[in-house]
Each structure stands twice: as structure tokens, then as C-alpha cells.
Amino acid sequence: MGKVTLKIQNHQAWLSINRPEKRNAIDYEVIELLNEQLDIIGENNEVKVLVVTGVGEQAFCSGGDLSVFHSIHTKQEAKEMLVKMAEVLHKLFFFPKPTIAFLNGSAVGGGCEIATACDFRIAEKNVKLGFIQGKLGITTGWGGSTYLVERVSNQDAFWMLLSAEIFDAKEGLNRGFIQNMFTREEFDYWLMTYTKQPLGVIKAYKQRILAQYNQNVMLERVLAEIEDCSTLWETPEHHEAVQQFLQK
């Protein structure tokens, strides 16, 4: 099995990050695979909904793979990595069919960004969530804060981003970040709501939601976010925080 798996069944595409030993952290190969698979799934007329999740019970995704990305030092290098993953999140946000992040475990840093790009975030009961980038001396850099302000109130977005706190699914629910707390069985049942109509109906309603957004404007906002993150990437605060995690 590769670092990303795809299973298509009952009109559902399950796209899973498969690095449980690294808490499903994102490296360059994962970025490439996600990018490729999104194109394939988008064009598959059997698929009515896309579920993004992580393999295992511990993590949805722990964000960027710090054991790989710690070698990025300059602003330009940081930008190149961030732009690649921002492309994946852009595809997710503008995906032609409903997208659901099934949070089967911790979603932190870029993991929360991926979840934010999806239309829905469904969490299992005991998951831990957090836009912890601030504690690493950086901001979101894959488009996460751009999409977050489209998902929750400005006040809740500020709290999640600025506090950089870890919060649980119940708090996520209260802040509008999580739509439902479900077991896997409950989730399977709920998913049927999104697959029982014909594909034409599903895609048409998704377009009504997307019609609120101008793709170029959203891209500009994401590029500004990348600029901030890549500027901060060069700072000693960031490199020290990453070293601390790696030494732990």
C-alpha cells in the first residue's frame, strides 16, 4: 500500500493518508499523490462524495512532516513547498462534489488546514484538534486560515489561529468547526444522505455553494497567506520550535 490510498464503494471515494507511524504527516510524495488522486476522483462519475481521512486510530493528519521539512531554511524554499500543498487544498475547496473530512484522530497544524478545505468536518468523539502553527513560530501556509474564515465566525477563527490551542471535538462543534460527532457506523449512515440523489443534482447544488467564490480572488488570498508563512519560516523562533519537536 502506498502513502495515500483510494477506495471507491457505494458512490463514495475514501481518500486516506497512509502513514500512521508518522501520524499521517504530509511529505512531498503525499502531496503529489493527493494532487493526482483528486483529479482522478473528480472525473469519476461513479463518485458522488469524497471522504478524506487518515489510516489508523491515532491521527487524521499531523500536518507537515517535520522530519522532512526541517531541512527547508529559506523563504523561497518554504514558498515552493507551501504552494504545492496549497494547490491540493485549492482543489479540495473547489471540488465539484461534496467533500467531508472524517477526523478519525488528531488533526493538528496542516491537518486542520486540510480539514478546513473540506465542506464538512465530522469527528470521532475523542479527537484532538488544533491550528498549532503559532507555537511553531509560523502561520498557516496551505490556505487554512483563508478557508477557515469562510467556515466559522471571525471570532472563532481568531481564537483557533491565535491561541494555537489544542481543542476537543465538542469545542470544535461549539465553534462551528465540526458539524457532527459520529462513530464510524453513524458516519456511514449519515453519508447516505449525500449519496442518494443523482450525481447531476449533487453537482448542481455544490456549484451553487461554490458560486459564492471567485477562484482568482481566493487564490490571491491564499498566496498572501503563503507569503506570511514563508517569511516567518526563516525566523529562528520557527527553527528552534521544530528542533525541539524533533529532539523530543
Ligand X SMILES: CC[C@@H](C(=O)O)C(=O)SCCNC(=O)CCNC(=O)[C@H](O)C(C)(C)COP(=O)(O)OP(=O)(O)OC[C@H]1O[C@@H](n2cnc3c(N)ncnc32)[C@H](O)[C@@H]1OP(=O)(O)O
Grid coordinates standing for 12? 463514495
Residues 145-184 vs ligand X: string with x where CB under 6 A? ----------------------------------------
Burial 113-130 (b: 16+ CB within 10 A, else e): bbbbbbbbbbbbeebbbb
Comparing CA positions, the residue from 95, 78, 94, 93 lying closest to residue 141 is: 78
Q: How far is the CB of 79 from ligand X (least distance, A)?
A: 11
CA 81 to chain centroid = 15
CA gap 114, 93 in Å, rounded: 9
Compare residues 21 and 46 and give the one whose CB is closer to ligand X: 21
Comparing CA positions, the residue from 15, 17, 14, 106 lying closest to residue 57 is: 106
Residues 47-86 vs ligand X: string with x where CB under 6 A? -----------xx--xxxxxx-x-----------------
* Residue in 22, 48, 79, 90 binding ligand X, rule: CB under 6 A: 22
Compare residues 128 and 203 and give the one whose CB is closer to ligand X: 128
Q: How far is the CB of 9 from ligand X (least distance, A)?
A: 28
CA gap 226, 83 in Å, rounded: 7
Compare residues 19 and 175 and give the one whose CB is closer to ligand X: 19
* Residue in 99, 104, 133, 146 binding ligand X, rule: CB under 6 A: 133
Q: How far is the CB of 244 from ligand X (least distance, A)?
A: 10
SS3 for 131? coil
Starting at the earlier edge strand, list the strands of the sheet with 106-108.
59-61, 106-108, 128-130, 167-168
* Residue in 106, 116, 145, 230 binding ligand X, rule: CB under 6 A: 106
**Alpha helices (H) in the chain, listed in sequence order:** 28-43, 66-69, 75-93, 110-117, 144-151, 154-163, 169-174, 184-191, 199-210, 215-233, 236-247
Residue 25 binding ligand X, by CB under 6 A: yes
Q: Give the binding range for ligand X (CB under 6 A) out of 21-29, 37-45, 96-104, 117-125.
A: 21-29
Compare residues 136 and 191 and give the one whose CB is closer to ligand X: 136
Compare residues 40 and 162 and give the one whose CB is closer to ligand X: 162
CA angle 3, 7, 11 (to 5 degrees): 150
Residue 124 binding ligand X, by CB under 6 A: no
Compare residues 20 and 96 and give the one whose CB is closer to ligand X: 20
Residue 91 binding ligand X, by CB under 6 A: no
Question: Which residues bind to ligand X, rule: CB under 6 A?
Answer: 22-23, 25, 58-59, 62-67, 69, 106, 108-110, 113, 132-133, 136, 140-142, 245
